[in-house]
Structure 1
Amino acid sequence: MALSWKLVVDSVNAPVLADFWAAALEYEVEDPTALIEQLLAGGQLPQAAVVEHNGRKNFRGLAAVRHPEDPFDATSGIGQGRRILFQDVPEPKTVKNRLHIDVHGAPGGLEALASRLEELGATRVREVDQGPAGHWWVMRDPEGNEFCAT
């Protein structure tokens, strides 16, 4: 079974989207501050390639989240297990996602889960009722990417 994987999501504002998904999934936002400071000090990275968000330095246009129980590199902050990388792209989202994340809540806790995700910035699109197979909410993250709350 693969422990190390990375899902890459195109974004408009990577650090903001990383904050949303870290809170939604109870993941941790990666902190590459130490690596960036080392690269800046060594002249290997221009200041223009760096942004600050929530007191952390990030590579411009990139932010990632990682599972809190997985190993990570202490110098770079980069997860070595399950992670999601958000990368800014110039073109806007125009069609439905071909891949999406399902966020699972506690049994019987769909309404509480959907409400929590709304408080984080998600919006409900529609409720899907599959009768005995269950029901879930199709939702959108703050940038309009579809996902399901089940």
Structure 2
Amino acid sequence: MALNWKLVIDSANAPALADFWAAALEYEVEDPGALIEQLLAAGHLGEEAVAEHRGRKIFRGYAAVRHPEDPFDPISGIGRGRRLLFQDVPEGKTGKNRLHLDVHSESGDLDTLVTRLEALGATRIREVNKGPAGHWWTMQDPEGNEFCVA
């Protein structure tokens, strides 16, 4: 039986990084507000564990994005498919990623996609030409995490 998974990414500002990746991938930022309200009302969660971001209650130090066509739990807002979870950690990024995302343009218009990602806060690092293997850009998200755009 295949397993479900999510990719967890350490961050300095989980909500901001989730906003970037939601816009970059055209995903949806998960809204755990209803679950948080239930947990607060039942006394299972303290106010110190909650923050507000863009008018929504979120779990402090966490944010996630999900594919808009994948199923999700309507109470918790948690996706049950393609999902990225961002969690704040105290230490900063110190080296090259050992794992990264590859973002592909459906239209095949690499320049338009790279320009759109830059407008969202990404940075071009280097252009790669690999002959028959193709052409792509290595970029960084707003926190310096590398990803490829092909």
TM-score (norm 1): 0.96
Within-5 A mapping of 1:105-144: 105-144=105-144
Corresponding letter in the other structure for 1:70: D
**Match for residue 50 of structure 1?**
50
| Whole-angstrom CA distance in 2 between matches of 1:108 and 1:64 | 27
Give, in angstroms, the shift of residue 107 of structure 1.
Answer: 4.7
SS of alignment partner, residue 75 of structure 1: coil
* Unaligned stretches of 5+ residues in structure 2: none
| Whole-angstrom CA distance in 1 between matches of 2:55 and 2:2 | 33
Relative to structure 1, the CA distance from residue 3 to residue 67 in structure 2 (aligned partners, 3 Å threshold; closer, same or farther) is farther
Relative to structure 1, the CA distance from residue 108 to residue 35 in structure 2 (aligned partners, 3 Å threshold; closer, same or farther) is closer
* Unaligned stretches of 5+ residues in structure 1: none
Relative to structure 1, the CA distance from residue 3 to residue 25 in structure 2 (aligned partners, 3 Å threshold; closer, same or farther) is farther
Give, in angstroms, the shift of residue 4 of structure 1.
Answer: 3.1
Relative to structure 1, the CA distance from residue 116 to residue 59 in structure 2 (aligned partners, 3 Å threshold; closer, same or farther) is same
| Whole-angstrom CA distance in 1 between matches of 2:148 and 2:86 | 19
Corresponding letter in the other structure for 1:30: E
**Match for residue 102 of structure 1?**
102
Q: Does the 8 A contact of 1:3 with 1:82 survive in 2?
A: no
| Whole-angstrom CA distance in 1 between matches of 2:109 and 2:143 | 25
RMSD: 1.3
Aligned length: 150
**Match for residue 66 of structure 1?**
66
**Match for residue 15 of structure 2?**
15
SS of alignment partner, residue 31 of structure 2: coil
| Whole-angstrom CA distance in 2 between matches of 1:52 and 1:148 | 31
Q: Does the 8 A contact of 1:136 with 1:149 survive in 2?
A: yes
| Whole-angstrom CA distance in 1 between matches of 2:85 and 2:34 | 18
Give, in angstroms, the shift of residue 134 of structure 1.
Answer: 1.3
